[in-house]
Amino acid sequence: MAATMTTAITVVWALNLAALVLMWRQRRRHSVLDLWVMIVLVAWLFDIALSSMLNHGRFDLGFYAGRTYGLVASGVVLFALLFENGRLHAQTVRALAGARYQHLLVVQKSAQLNDANERLEQRVAARTAQLSASNRDLRREVEERVRAERALQASREELREIAAISASAREAEQRRIARELHDELAQTLATLKNDLEWLLDHVPQEDAPLARKIAAMHALARGAVTATRRIASDLRPLMLDDLGFAAAMQWLVEDFRHRHGMACTLRVEPSELQLDEPYATAVFRIAQEALANVARHAAASSATVELVYRDETIALTIRDDGAGFDPGAPRKSGSFGLVGLRERAYLVGGTLRIDTTLGVGTKVEVDIPVASAHVAIAHDGRGTSR
């Protein structure tokens, strides 16, 4: 019986000791409850040990030892609780002080933040007012600029309409004057030249001074006929009205070759292309002025004129192998050649492009939309090169 009790007491004591060791070796920080349980376990271990040792004697000293141990254990527990209470109070005081400091710091920072926000809002309000005023001024300037641009655009459109009307009237007047020069003055001068030839053939041989005078008058009449026809052709090539557009373009190229002694070729596709007004006159004048610029400024040895009608668009190209020019250079005073070409193209809804290289030459390209109703094409549709 005694051995069995000893074994039981030993097992209970060992289990309590193991529980105490396990609680002590926990990785987390011990709480007040953990300390209380460990104190109870220690007291329980001492209680079991003292009871086992003192209750085996002849005299029953366990009762007194238990009372003494209870007082000691109670004192230890009370001391531990008081110590823990003081430590917790100190921690609480420190925590409250820290919280109070943090609260004051938060209040201070909040006040600073509110002050900064107020200053920022004031600056933002002032800046917003400035921006609003600037936006109003800018909007007013933009509106004024838009109105000015619209007025300028309208003025340009009016000027171009006036220019178109003026060009049409000028062409009509030049056509009339050219027709009168050709049909009346040139014919009259030709008749006078023929009469002078008759007089020169019938003048007496012994009247040499009279023959010389008639010969001089005949030369003047012949020169006047040539000059009249040239002036009439410059004003308005009558073949543009009499023979059509393709023949007029051929005459233009041949006349350019004869006047300036420069090689010039023409390619028309389709070969017998005919245009209605105002497209025929516009294309003819653009080609005429472009060739005049080649003769005056390009110092070229040859030029080509290409005229192609495709996809309801007239593509006119004039090339030369001359000196070229700098497109960015300032325009010479009184020089309006390129401006005139561009305006002529614009008046019939076309666009003009210039590609030039110094020392290589210049290419002028004009694209004019022309509906098929204003175009007559030969049946063979073949191109021609002259």
Token reading at 216: 């001089």
Q: Which of left, alpha, beta for 299 (phi over 0: left; psi -120 to 50: alpha)?
A: left
pLDDT in tens, 317-341: 999 998 888 776 655 554 556 777 8
Average pLDDT, the chain: 77
Which pLDDT does position 61 carry in this prediction? 46
Contact between residue 234 and residue 175 where contact means Cβ atoms under 8 Å apart: no
pLDDT band at 379 (very low <50, low <70, confident <90, very high): very low
Fold of 243-385: Heat Shock Protein 90 (3.30.565)
- How many C-beta neighbours within 10 Å does residue 314 have? 23
> Looking at per-residue confidence, does 381 or 109 come out higher?
109
Residue 278, pLDDT score: 83
3-state SS, one letter per residue, for the chain: CHHHHHHHHHHHHHHHHHHHHHHHCCCCCCCHHHHHHHHHHHHHHHHHHHHHHHCCCCCCCHHHHHHHHHHHHHHHHHHHHHHHHHHHHHHHHHHHHHHHHHHHHHHHHHHHHHHHHHHHHHHHHHHHHHHHHHHHHHHHHHHHHHHHHHHHHHHHHHHHHHHHHHHHHHHHHHHHHHHHHHHHHHHHHHHHHHHHHHHHHHCCCCCHHHHHHHHHHHHHHHHHHHHHHHHHHHHCCHHHHHCCHHHHHHHHHHHHHHHHCCEEEEEEECCCCEECCCHHHHHHHHHHHHHHHHHHHHCCCEEEEEEEEECCEEEEEEEECCCCCCCCCCCCCCCCHHHHHHHHHHHCCCEEEEEEECCCEEEEEEEEECCHHHEECCCCCCCEEC
| Model confidence at 33: pLDDT above 80 | no
Predicted local distance difference test score (pLDDT) of residue 303: 93
- pLDDT-based confidence at residue 1 (cuts at 50, 70, 90): low
4 has pLDDT over 70: no
**Confidence category of residue 365, pLDDT binned at 50, 70, 90:** very high
pLDDT tens string 155-212:
877 777 777 677 677 777 777 787 777 677 778 888 888 888 888 888 887 778 888 8
As a whole number, mean pLDDT of residues 230-248 equals 77
Residue 29: the pLDDT is: 65
pLDDT at residue 58 tops 50: no
Structure tokens at 91: 């921690």
| Cβ atoms 227, 189 nearer than 8 A | no
Is beta strand 302-310 parallel, antiparallel or unpaired with respect to 263-269?
A: parallel
Are 52 and 3 in contact by the 8 Å Cβ rule? The answer is: no
Q: How large is the average pLDDT for residues 214-239? A: 80
Q: Which amino acid is at 365?
A: E
CA dihedral 122→123→124→129, nearest 10 degrees, is: 90
The pLDDT of residue 368 is 92
Which of the pair, 95 or 49, is modelled with greater confidence? 95
pLDDT digits (tens, 9 = 90+) for 291-314: 988 988 888 899 999 999 988 899
Q: Quick one: pLDDT band at residue 70, thresholds 50, 70, 90?
A: low
Domain boundaries, the chain: 243-385
